[in-house]
């Protein structure tokens, strides 16, 4: 089989935002892993049923995914071996890192990044990229960023990262995230990179050079071609149409676009594959809430029991603040700028750079959570193109909107894992203090386990030819029974 695009695997795929971006950027996402039923349904509908991309979705906990499961999935979807995968990508659930406090080190969600590392070590792709919240860098005082670098270094990968804001990549939203990337050392050597003496341009540099948007997209520029509806008190789900809000179920029946409205470049990009508006619905609003919302001016904030419970109306001529998964429970921070109602699922999707043909499935709460959790496709596009350029797979290209003036962000590239000032994020951290960190201990355990796994892989390398035609058994010792058991 002749492959036209380099192959990627998407871990923690969610509704498919990162996969969508990678696809637009020239990657072939052959396998996706996602445990949430509704998110996996959304992924399947948009990537397989609608687009016929034949991506194999593993609907299970990441801890239950091993070499056998991945090899079988690749054989089924593309007829290829693990060794032919060139990129592992993913956005490990990051809520545990969002607010650093006494409980953060024990948060089980923080351990999912370790599962990402485990899969990278199993597959041994040419490169990896991972998106996470900026809060992960706050673990610098525990030596975590440095230790991640040490682990990847020992596994044969360099590690670089950059703090990026989605609004600087054509997404109408202030969304700050960290993008980690790494290239396998033998691949880097073959490309002529010398990371120790003269580091090659790292992925963040390439993102900033080629893929930054020339201007920030505002809510008005993103949403003005969509129907406004009008304020009405309804407790149930409401559908927003041109000039009205009603309770009729339009789930299977996309609403036609309003006529005679000028469109911005962003709106044309959002409409490029769609003939109508899907998911044009939002949560209902009681009479009491409607009265409260009507008091909030455009861009205003109404305090309600503390900062975390504030009600916010978005501003038409500015970008949105960060969309989050909790939108599925409450939309009080996302009041439409011009109308007394919450934003719709479709409006939220546009603020994440999902085009209008991308349909979200499941309950309304599930749809909003999927949107809030997603990696914006435009960010995935830029990251995928940048790492592809670094691997010499792609030539420089531009985002659907146009892209960029370099960010004034410094690049961070691992040169020597023994450097106590690694990434410029921490001064010297005493060894005994680092050892007191539970996460540090967990990572060291994983580190030791990976060394053992690497030895086992080297020992069994001679068996790979006999496995080529029949795949690798799911019962291979140490591979499919891959859940990492961690005490405490």
d(C-alpha 426, C-alpha 138), whole Å: 10
DSSP 306-373: SGGG-EEB--TTS-B----GGGGT--TT-B-SSSSSBPPHHHHHHHTT--TT----S-HHHHHHHHHH
Neighbours of 29 (CB within 10 A): 27
The CA-CA-CA angle for residues 194, 198, 200, to 5°, reads: 70
DSSP 8-class letter at 254: P
CA 472 to CA 464: how far, in whole Å? Answer: 8
Check if the beta carbon of residue 230 is closer than 8 Å to that of residue 244. Answer: yes
Decide if 172 contacts 351 (C-beta within 8 A): yes
Assigned token pair, 330: 């409450």
User: Would you give the DSSP letter of residue 87?
Assistant: E
CA gap 81, 464 in Å, rounded:
10
- Rounded distance, CA 355 to CA 173, Å? 15
Catalytic residue annotation? 94
E-strand ranges in 366-443 read 412-413
What distance in Å separates the CA atoms of residue 44 and residue 26, rounded to the nearest whole number?
19
311, 247 Cβ separation under 8 angstroms: no
């Amino acid at each position: 089989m002749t492959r036209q695009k380099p192959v990627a695997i998407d871990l923690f795929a969610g509704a498919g935002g990162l996969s969508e971006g990678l696809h637009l950027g020239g990657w072939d996402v052959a396998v996706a892993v996602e445990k949430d039923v509704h998110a996996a349904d959304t992924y399947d509908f948009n990537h397989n049923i609608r687009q016929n991309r034949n991506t194999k979705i593993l609907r299970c906990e990441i801890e239950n995914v091993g070499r056998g499961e991945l090899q079988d999935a690749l054989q089924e979807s593309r007829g290829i071996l693990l060794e032919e995968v060139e990129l592992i990508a993913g956005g490990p659930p990051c809520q545990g890192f969002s607010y650093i406090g006494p409980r953060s080190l024990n948060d089980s969600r923080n351990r999912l990044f370790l599962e990402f590392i485990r899969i990278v070590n199993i597959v041994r792709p040419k490169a990896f990229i991972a998106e996470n919240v900026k809060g992960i860098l706050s673990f610098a005082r525990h030596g975590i960023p440095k230790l991640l670098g040490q682990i990847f270094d020992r596994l044969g990968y360099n590690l670089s990262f950059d703090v990026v804001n989605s609004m600087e990549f054509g997404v109408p939203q202030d969304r700050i995230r960290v993008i980690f990337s790494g290239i396998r050392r033998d691949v880097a050597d073959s490309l002529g990179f010398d990371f120790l003496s003269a580091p090659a341009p790292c992925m963040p540099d390439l993102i900033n050079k080629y893929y930054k948007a020339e201007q920030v997209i505002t809510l008005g520029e993103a949403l003005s071609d969509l129907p406004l509806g009008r304020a009405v008190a309804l407790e149930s789900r409401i559908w927003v149409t041109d000039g009205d809000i009603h309770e009729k179920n339009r789930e299977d029946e996309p609403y036609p676009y309003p006529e005679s409205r000028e469109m911005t470049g962003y709106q044309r990009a959002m409409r490029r594959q769609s003939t109508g508006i899907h998911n044009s619905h939002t949560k209902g609003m009681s009479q009491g809430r409607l009265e409260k919302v009507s008091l909030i001016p455009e861009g205003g904030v109404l305090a309600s029991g503390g900062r975390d419970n504030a009600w916010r109306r978005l501003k038409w001529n500015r970008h949105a603040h960060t969309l989050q998964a909790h939108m599925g429970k409450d939309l009080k921070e996302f009041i439409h700028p011009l109308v007394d109602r919450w934003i719709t699922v479709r409006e939220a999707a546009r603020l994440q750079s999902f085009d209008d043909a991308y349909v979200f499935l499941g309950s309304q709460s599930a749809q909003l959570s999927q949107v809030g959790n997603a990696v914006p496709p435009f960010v995935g596009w830029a990251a995928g193109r940048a790492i592809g350029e670094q691997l010499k797979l792609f030539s420089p290209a531009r985002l659907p909107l146009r892209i960029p003036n370099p960010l004034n962000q410094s690049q961070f590239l691992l040169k020597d894992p023994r450097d106590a000032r690694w990434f410029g994020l921490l001064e010297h951290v005493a060894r005994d203090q680092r050892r007191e960190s539970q996460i540090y201990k967990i990572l060291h355990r994983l580190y030791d386990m990976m060394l053992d796994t690497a030895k086992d892989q080297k020992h069994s390398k001679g068996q790979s030819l006999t496995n080529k035609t029949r795949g690798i058994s799911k019962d291979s010792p140490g591979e499919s029974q891959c859940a990492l058991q961690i005490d405490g």
